[in-house]
Every structure is written in structure tokens, then in C-alpha cells.
Amino acid sequence: MSAPTESRPLNIVVWNENVHESRGDATVLGHYPDGMHTVIAAALREQHPGASVSTATLQEPEHGLTAERLATTDVLFWWGHVAHQDVSDEVVTRVVEAVHAGMGLVVLHSGHYSKPFTRLMGTTCSLKWRNDGERELVWTIAPEHPIAAGVPHPIVIDRQEMYGEYFDIPRPDEEVFLSTFAGGEVFRSGVAYRRGLGRVFYFSPGDQEYPVYHHADVQRVLANAAAWAAPTSERRQLTADPHPRDWFLSGGSGTQEA
């Protein structure tokens, strides 16, 4: 699949396990009556008016992530919390392979424990947490990064779950945001990676008990992340190809015929 262009709009899918909402959690439904995914998708549509933005949930067949759908997805957003183990390993493999081939992945909040993210990171992705509804300040530590464009320094989130260090992730390719909390903790809240041909961004603000995804500055970060994570070249699977000797002298591609 080719990269998005003016003639082919950006194709974004927002995935949400949708468990808190489907269980009728009153607090969550008070903030997100139609689900967190709908609020995130609406914000992305507003800030990327030319994009195609759709949603998918755990409860759909194949979790809404068929091979055909992923093949046309430029950027996949992922929110999960209490149902990580209910995600099919087959679907997880599809997502990971799509990232390796060039699809962008934006992992949100407790998605740090999701199967796609932990598989791509190769670590436990464990962290410290405390849910006392404290203030979070999201500081920009890479102001030149495209994901930080137009984002205030800091973003002020009045009430949010605390995530703290140590966060067991590989050393990020780029650290974009660092959060501080009222209790004194710090957390690498916005980190970027490249995996294969794909780009991965993790952004922590967004606990289900607080209206964080209605926050205009958080929405700006998500919109910037979608643009940054989108493929910049044709998606393709990286494979081990047999290589003839001195192929570069012949002007060929270097791929040996089977």
C-alpha cells in the first residue's frame, strides 16, 4: 500500500477495547457516553478534515481488525485496559506485522500493557501507578519534534491517574514528553520508536475515569501523532532475500530469482 498523499487521504482507525463502556460503568459513560473511541475519532476528524477516521472495538468479529482493514490502515490508535488477554493472538500478530511493514501505531494510556505494544517493545512495560485524581503536568522535552508542534509547555491536566517510573520500556528513539505529578513522581509520558518500517508513539494521559480525551491540548498531541506516525513510503514486508554476488555492479535490484 502506498503512503497517504493529496489524492489518497490519511486512513486512521481508533481501536478501543470498549469494556468499561459496555459494562455500563457510570463514571466512564458520564465522560464518554458513546465510548472513548468516538471522542478520540471525532477529535482526529476535526484536526485532520481530509482524513478517513473510523473506529473498531474488541467486541467486533476479529476485533474489527481484519487483514484487509489493516492493509489499508495508515495509523492505528490503541486503547486497552482490563481485557488485554482477550485480544486474539492472531490479530496481535497482524498488527505487529503491519507495523513492521510501515503502519503507524499510537498506543494510549494503559495500552502500555497491550499485547501489540509489549511484543513490539520486548519488555514487561510495567510501571508505578496511583489513582488519586491528582494534577498532571505534561512537559515538552523535545520542542522541535513534530508531535510537540503547537502544544503548550506544559499541558495542565487537572485530574488524572498517576503513572510513575520506573517504566520498563527500551530506551526510546525519541523522548517527547515528561510528566510530573502532585505527589512528586515523574514519568516518560510521550515516547517514540521505530520498529521495522513503522513508527510507534506511546502517550500516557487518558485514564477512563477522567475526561482527558476532551482536553484540547491532548487532542492536539493525538492529531500530531497521527501525522507523524503515518507511512512516508510504500508499505512492504521486510524479508531475508537471497542476494547474488556483485549485484550492485549490474544495476539490478539484488533480488535473486527463485
Q: How far apart are CA 14 and CA 12, in angstroms?
A: 7
| Residue type present at position 241 | D
Per-residue pLDDT at 244:
87
Domains along the chain with CATH numbers: 11-121+188-238 (3.40.50.880)
pLDDT of residue 258: 44
What single-letter amino acid sits at 57?
Answer: T
**pLDDT 10s digit of each residue in the chain, 258 long?**
667 766 678 999 999 999 999 999 999 999 999 999 999 999 999 999 999 999 999 999 999 999 999 999 999 999 999 999 999 999 999 999 999 999 999 999 999 999 999 999 999 999 999 999 999 999 999 999 999 999 999 999 999 999 999 999 999 999 999 999 999 999 999 999 999 999 999 999 999 999 999 999 999 999 999 999 999 888 998 888 888 888 888 776 655 554
Q: Read off the pLDDT of residues 77-106 as tens digits, 9 standing for 90 and up.
A: 999 999 999 999 999 999 999 999 999 999
Nearest Cα to 190, choosing from 181, 177, 173, 200? 177
The pLDDT assigned to 88 comes to 97
Beta-strand relationship, 11-16 and 75-79? parallel
Mean pLDDT score across all residues of the chain: 94
What distance, in Å, lies between the first and last C-alpha atoms of the chain? 24
